[in-house]
A and B are shown apart, each in its own frame.
Chain A
Amino acid sequence: MYHDNDRARIFTRRAMMLAGGQAVLMSTLVGRMYYLQVVEADKYRMQADDNRISTQLLAPSRGLILDRNGIAMAVNQHNYVVQVIPEQTPSIDYTLDQLSQIILLTDNDRARIHKDARRHRSFVPITVRENLSWEEVARIEVNAPDLPGAVIDVGQSRYYPLQELGAHILGYVAAPSEADLQAESADSLLQLPGFRIGKAGVERVYDLALRGKGGTKKLEVNAVGRVINELERKEGVPGVDLTLTLDTRLQEFAARRLGDQSAAVVVLDIHSGAVIVMASTPSFDPNAFNRGLTTAEWSNLVNNPYSPLTNKAIAGQFAPGSTFKPMTALAALENNAITPDTQVFCPGFTQLGNFIFRCWKHGGHGLLNVEGALKHSCDVFFYEAARRVGIDRIHEMSARFGLSAQTGIDLPRELPGLVPSRTWKRHTLNQPWLPGETMINGIGQGYMLVTPLQLAVMVSRIANGGLGVVPHVARDLITGSEVHPRPAPNWPSLNVSHQSLDVVRQGMIAVCNEPGGTGYSARITEDGMWMAGKTGTAQVRHITTREREAGLKPLSEIPWKERDHALFIGFAPTEAPRYGVAVVVEHGGHGGSVAAPIARDILIEVQKRDLARMAAAPESH
């Protein structure tokens, strides 16, 4: 025991030191705990939530598209999708083999499914086939016990119940392109797999309103991403339903009346600018785009000479031919180049220098004033009127009536057409204007190009007393995703005298309602539905003197591409005009015999529908 006291003393002292050291370490722990759990707690709480909460977007349902009577033109359909969950089947191939007895599965499909399955965790469902028929869904459900891992999921897809009818106006939806994703980085909805946006037509123009606002769901996920439960769900705002000004029944009538020709017709309400009919034939089935086109189908659409994908009403540009004559007449009248009583003698041709300009009527029309010239569509009168007023004034007058620029309709890809001027020729062709060109363009040939919609706007502005009506297809005024009722029309005046307009209208009434008028055979005889109009037959190629001397060939012997365009513009009823119409049949032949009867039939139908509606529910107009 002699040394033990020393050792005990040392032990006690050192135990105190060791305990002190350990106390210091302990307080380090407490300090660290305080730092992590109190000072930095908020940061880590956020990180923990980031870990476990996965926010996913919920696609809103797309707004419907309805016609003016509430008939559905674009709806959402359940899209039944069969998926396979790899972890729930002993073998993906076994399940696919079983499934292939119900649905068609190509080797490509299988390769894609296996690729997808490898890329995702085994609890992620892999899409096998979309757009299942109801029968296929039923058979899969019934055979569920033999289909391990196969599940049916329901999504939404766009469906156009009227198929080809109005397809050009509706447009279609498709997956956003890379460019869409870049441009609209603001809307994360586009990132959703399977999300579709409007690619053409009103689907595109009013995409924001139709799209709606996305909702979100917050999911709790574990470390490998499996969903444990749903924490929160905020439903989005469904897209607004879009009502169009179109009348699908008239649209159907018009499409049927145009038949399988390459043609377009537009009917406008001349006061409001509402597009009641806009048909372009042939058309296409927009559902095919959603279903997926085969290469063959696609090349058929693209290579068809009748260009079914183009909305010819706004993107088809044609020489207006004689339907342009009201513009020449107005330009000459308003600029006092002629008076309503100015008479011109038509011997069947006129001369400028060494050039001969022929009238369509071989023997000539004799002495005509402007009204008679319109009625008979005398070329010589308008050669003279154009020569007197000059191309720039014709250009200026046409511009007031909506030619040579986009009308501003709420549809994409509208083309502007062309009414030439001296400036235009100098700038684009770098050539001086020739006097003879004024005469050729004065009868709607030469450089002239118009769209059927422009013609409809033009005739509407003539019929409504010179007001700058602008066409539209959406009933309401929609900006972004805001929808407001369209205000009562208050169109600016075009500053054209009523006297001049009256002369032109009288001429157009004569065209259809006086014997000898170029549209007389297509007149409307029903009381209160009378039509006024102007025919047009536009040459698409120059006719040489030799051909003229050899005599004109019958239509059937001329290749389609070289035949004349048949055009007609008109309004009705003559007493109190309400509707403006334009018909263009591409390479269709004569305006009077081909285009005018189409316009007549459609305007009768439009006015009948109008009467029926007014009888049912009297409206104030």
Chain B
Amino acid sequence: MLGRDSRLSMRLNHTEMSWREKLWQINWGLLALITAVTGIGLLTLYSAAQGHIQPWALKQFLRFLLGMGILFMVAMVDIRFWMRHAYTLYMIAMVLLVAVQVRGTVGMGAQRWIDLGFIQLQPSEIMKIALVLSLARYFHGATVQETGRPLFLVPPLIMVLAPTGLVMKQPDLGTALMLMMSSGAIFFMAGVRLWKFGVLIAGGLAAVPVAWGFLHDYQRKRLEVFLNPDEDPLGAGYHITQSKIALGSGGLFGKGFLHGTQSRLDFLPEKQTDFIFTMFGEEWGMIGGLVLLTLYALLVAYGYAIALRCRSQFGRLVALGITTTFFLYFFINTAMVMGLVPVVGVPLPLISYGGTAMLSLLFGFGLLMSAYIHRDVPIGRRGAHED
């Protein structure tokens, strides 16, 4: 191999990197994309408050600054550290998830929050990261042969299903689905045979009638409304009907910044959180929507590029797990507000108003950055160096 890149790679292919080397390796493109998307988010929050930085845009900006700090710290930390502490993080997240069941704050009709005094903690967000790390660690040490053994897949399955069940019970269908789908992606990337997914999906479908019985009334209503939104346009179908009106009336070029009537006149519910894409689409039209989707797609593409360039399986799986989680965030959210999938409470990443999601996302991007910085660092089966 010739060229500067390969020489650089060779130089990084050692156990310990200095801070200078790490700083040198920061992926500025990734940061620029994150900042651009967040910038769009802040503008939209400014518009959601009818041209005021209060009550949302300013607070979200401060969280972003805090999140960027976290991103840097996470990125600077050796990826092997994250691998070593993956299970610990997972256990902490599990404990918090149980705690939220025991004494959580009820918000929006669901027990999702835990009040730590200075911050409203949402353990399911932490679990999204922790699960990716744990699964990546588990599969990092697995040979292709091991991955082929069904029994070998039982522990990671339990690892997925335990938090999923807890989250489902909160109830937070969206996060539960995301946990399952991003885990599925990691299983898939780790080389689990496709027919096994077939079996799982078949089993899942068979369980649908059972699961239906466990769903809350409002969740059932949401699914019914999804299947037939015109049935009750002023009641349960109100959200999605108004969302489609807002998006559609935005047209190709939008109504202009600060001029979205649906959002400004409060016809659009949750315009600063789950339905913020609708508000953006109303004001900036399809052109704006395409720009935003392109930025998201570029971020995902960066994630793939980083995953493919990682030398270690752990790095690859973490990068791809984070990327997939991110993809699921914006796909489910946008598909939901466009009426493609049922309304499940998933925020638009980096844009929706909300602290925990923003911080955990930037934490995730920190890991992605760490995977990039440490892409050539060799990792042994148990997190030590290559043995």
Contacts and interface: CB of A to CB of B under 8 A. Distances in A.
Interface of A: 1, 3-4, 6-8, 10-12, 14-15, 18-19, 22, 25-26, 28-30, 32-34, 36-38, 40-41, 43-45, 47-49, 51-52, 220-224, 228
Contact of A38 (B189, B252, B307, B316): B252
Most chain B beta carbons < 10 A, residue from A32, A37, A47, A51: A37
A37 B304 contact: no
Contacts of A228: 265
Contacts of B248: 36-37, 40-41, 43-45, 47-48
A288 B320 CA distance: 84
A223 B267 contact: yes
| 8 shortest interchain CB distances as A-B pairs | A44-B248, A48-B249, A222-B265, A37-B286, A223-B266, A41-B251, A45-B249, A10-B191
Contact of B289 (A10, A33, A48): A33
Contacts of B316: 8, 11
B189 A11 contact: yes
19 contacts: A3-B144, A7-B190, A7-B191, A14-B191, A18-B324, A19-B304, A25-B331, A25-B335, A26-B297, A26-B331, A29-B340, A30-B293, A33-B286, A37-B247, A45-B249, A48-B248, A48-B262, A51-B267, A221-B265
A277 B76 CA distance: 105
Interface string B244-271: 1111111110000000011011110000
B308 interface: yes
A7 B190 CA distance: 7
Given A7-B191, A41-B248, A44-B249, 20 more contacts: A3-B143, A7-B190, A7-B313, A14-B188, A15-B304, A19-B304, A29-B331, A29-B338, A29-B340, A32-B338, A37-B285, A38-B286, A41-B251, A41-B252, A51-B242, A52-B261, A52-B265, A52-B267, A220-B265, A221-B265
B281 interface: yes
A18 B188 contact: yes
A287 to B, nearest CB: 44
Most chain A beta carbons < 10 A, residue from B190, B248, B339: B248
Contacts of A28: 335, 340
A407 B286 CA distance: 71
A579 B262 CA distance: 70
B290 interface: yes
B320 A36 contact: no
B289 A51 contact: no
B227 to A, nearest CB: 16
A4 B313 contact: yes
A222 B189 contact: no
B265 A51 contact: yes
B327 interface: yes
A18 B252 CA distance: 30
B386 interface: yes
A49 B249 CA distance: 9
Interface string B225-244: 00000000000000000101
A306 B141 CA distance: 113
Most chain B beta carbons < 10 A, residue from A4, A14, A36, A44: A36
A561 B145 CA distance: 122
Interface in B312-328: 313, 316, 320, 324, 327
A43 B188 CA distance: 43
Contacts of B320: 15, 18
Given A1-B386, A30-B290, A223 B265 contact: yes
Nearest to A228: B265
B375 to A, nearest CB: 13
Contact of A34 (B267, B286, B386): B286
Interface in B186-203: 188-191
B334 interface: yes
A4 B285 CA distance: 47
Contact of B281 (A26, A37, A221, A224): A37
A12 B267 contact: no
A37 B293 contact: no
Contacts of A220: 261, 265
B262 A29 contact: no
A3 B191 CA distance: 12
B185 interface: yes
A15 B308 contact: yes
B350 interface: no
A10 B192 CA distance: 10
B300 interface: yes
Contacts of A45: 248-249, 251
Contact of A11 (B251, B289, B313): B313
Given A7-B313, A18-B188, A29-B334, A48 B251 contact: no
Contact of A48 (B261, B335, B340): B261
Nearest to B316: A11
Contacts of B297: 26
Contacts of B304: 15, 19
B267 A222 contact: yes
Contact of B266 (A4, A7, A222): A222
A34 to B, nearest CB: 7
A6 B335 contact: no
Contacts of B143: 3, 7
